[in-house]
Amino acid sequence: MKSKIILPGTLIIFLAWLGPSIGLGRWNFYTDKVSFLTNKLWIRCMDDQKNWSSWMDPFDHLQKSYFSTIANGKGKLIGTYLGLYEILLDEYKALVKECEKSGSCDPMEKVLTTVEHGKVKKLVSDICLSKYQKSEQIQFKLMTFWPKKYSERKLDKRWGRVQEISFPPELVTKNSALTSKEK
Amino acid sequence: MKNFWDNFLTKEQGLNTIRLFQLAFLGWLFFHSVAMLPYGDQIWGPNGYPLVDFNFTDIRALGTLLSFPQITPFYQWFVGAHLICIVLAMFSVLPRTMYLLLFLLTINLNTRALGTTSGGTTLSELLLLYMIFVNTTGKELKSSQLKTALHNLFFWIMRLQIVFIYASAILSKTQHALWMEGLATYYIFQSGQSSQPWAGPIAVSYPIIPIFGNYLTIAFQFLFPLLVWVKKFKPYIILVGMVLHLMMSFVMGLFFFGILMSLVYILFYEESFSKSILEFPKKLFRGNIIANG
């Protein structure tokens, strides 16, 4: 009697596990998405004397340090920072499409009011305030580097194409979170 | 067939294999959390940088507790409890309860730190869920028919999950022109995020290397779901998989993902092989005692 209940029961559990993945078209849910692109957040800060610093990649040393040792949590920290870059870029792209359709809006103006922009602005503010305590303004741009095409492999250039989305200078968001480890 | 079903209901399968797998998997999970601890404030803390601020008030709140501003400052308690549960599960102290707690704690830590997640973390959550239903003690317990059936079912589900990952990966690749043309790894190696800095120049100067890697990956992902069930070919397909995933760890920088995927192959080990690995430290210890008089 028990086996009459248990066997169909186990089959139902199995189908309940497999069904949603296939039925909802989420069969590629488990696969890792590896990027062909190189995304970088470039920032500059207004220093204590109110002069702009040069453009810098604040995570460059972290990335180099991660790849030199690999078996540590720095890669996860980079993922946290660059994840913010990606959600802001996705939001901006969506707004560009939306504004192209309506023909009556400025995607940059709109993206400045989004939560995603606020998150990146907070990160950049924290970095600038950790470098210059009296920094009042920040600016950042989203850089995307495309690899060289196979047909371009013998050309003397580092990247195939570079895209830059530049945000206007803004006042810092005060609430520093970075510790000395990440400065 | 009748014999299979009788065994399915009366005898727990793969006890040594599951015990070996759980030790390796929990070791990975422990190291995964410990490696992020020095950066805990940025990854989980109240002044951190979460990608999404969850605001659920229904059952989903159970998996997003760390998003509540009142709870976020106590993220160290979550990490601490996570590590303690891992150690207790390793020593088989209330294993099913520990796996349930680990599942909930892991989901909370991962959803707070979405930027750190990958296919590997998704897989680890699923494996923790499945482990609730299997006997991980390595010893035959006098279980009810239902518990035995669940153990055997979820042991199969865990292995099918791995096969399913490769089947879905190969389906995804067949829809991607660059993988089919053999150039995907040529481009991946040039990415500053997905590869060691020295990999890009090598890929551009000697494209035959990434092209070979591209087709080897496709061949492996296509063959794994088929050959891993054939005793004669199993060791070879697992060896190729381990080489590919360790390369992902150390060349592409997907360290935790690559290591986890290398460890999940344990689920396919023959029971006698798993047993000999588990007994190896004991034999070594005994040998040392005899040698030292």
Domain ranges of chain B: 2-160
Q: Do B171 and A67 touch (CB under 8 A)?
A: no
Q: Is A115 helix (H, G, I), strand (E, B) or coil?
A: helix
CA distances from A26 to A30, B73, B110, B171, B199 (A): 8, 35, 20, 12, 32
Question: Measured between alpha carbons, how far is A14 from B96 in angstroms, rounded to an integer?
Answer: 20
- B9 close contact with A: CB closer than 8 A: yes
Task: Tell whether the model's pLDDT for residue B53 goes beyond 80.
Answer: yes
User: Which of 127-146 (B) contact A at CB < 8 A?
Assistant: 145-146
Q: Residue B205 is encoded by which pair of tokens?
A: 């100067």
Higher pLDDT pick, B266 / A33: B266
User: Which of 89-128 (B) contact A at CB < 8 A?
Assistant: 113-120, 122-123
The band of A3, judged by pLDDT with boundaries at 50, 70 and 90, is: low
* Residue whose C-alpha is closest to residue B76's, from B31, B37, B121: B37
What pLDDT shows up at residue A160? 92
A-to-B residue pairs, Cβ atoms closer than 8 angstroms:
169
Least confident span in A11-20, A165-174, B30-39, B227-236: A11-20
Q: How far is CA A59 from its chain centroid?
A: 12
Task: Tell whether the model's pLDDT for residue A180 goes beyond 50.
Answer: no
Give φ, ψ of A126 to 5 degrees. -60, -40
pTM for the whole structure: 0.89
Report the gap between the CA of A41 and the closest CA in chain B (Å): 12
The band of A48, judged by pLDDT with boundaries at 50, 70 and 90, is: confident
- Which residue from A7, A21, A70 is facing B255, i.e. has the nearest CB? A70
**Mean pLDDT score, B114-123:** 89
The band of A17, judged by pLDDT with boundaries at 50, 70 and 90, is: low
Indicate the average pLDDT of chain B.
92
What pLDDT shows up at residue B264? 97
Tokens 């396919």 belong to which residue? B268
Classify burial at B138, counting beta carbons within 10 Å of its beta carbon; exposed 0-12, middle 13-18, buried 19 or more.
middle
What pLDDT shows up at residue A182? 43
Q: What angle do CA A97, A100, A102 make, to 5 degrees?
A: 110
**Mean pLDDT score, B117-127:** 90
Report the gap between the CA of A110 and the closest CA in chain B (Å): 19
**Cα torsion through A74, A77, A78, A84, rounded to 10:** 180
Report the gap between the CA of B288 and the closest CA in chain A (Å): 32
Q: Is A37 helix (H, G, I), strand (E, B) or coil?
A: coil
The band of B62, judged by pLDDT with boundaries at 50, 70 and 90, is: confident
Q: Do B191 and A122 touch (CB under 8 A)?
A: no
Task: Tell whether the model's pLDDT for residue A26 goes beyond 50.
Answer: no
What pLDDT shows up at residue A24? 44
What pLDDT shows up at residue A15? 65
* Residue whose C-alpha is closest to residue B12's, from B99, B142, B100: B142
What are the chain A neighbours of B121 within 8 Å (beta carbons)?
Answer: none
Buried residues in A167-176 as b, exposed as e (16+ CB within 10 A): beeeebbeeb
**Mean pLDDT score, B159-179:** 90
Which residues make beta-bridge pairs with A42?
Answer: A141
Eight-class DSSP state of A151: G
Question: Measured between alpha carbons, how far is B223 from A3 in angstroms, rounded to an integer?
Answer: 35
Indicate the average pLDDT of chain A.
84
Q: Which helix (H) or strand (E) holds A81?
A: helix A74-102
The band of A25, judged by pLDDT with boundaries at 50, 70 and 90, is: very low
Q: What angle do CA B64, B67, B71 make, to 5 degrees?
A: 105
What pLDDT shows up at residue B60? 82
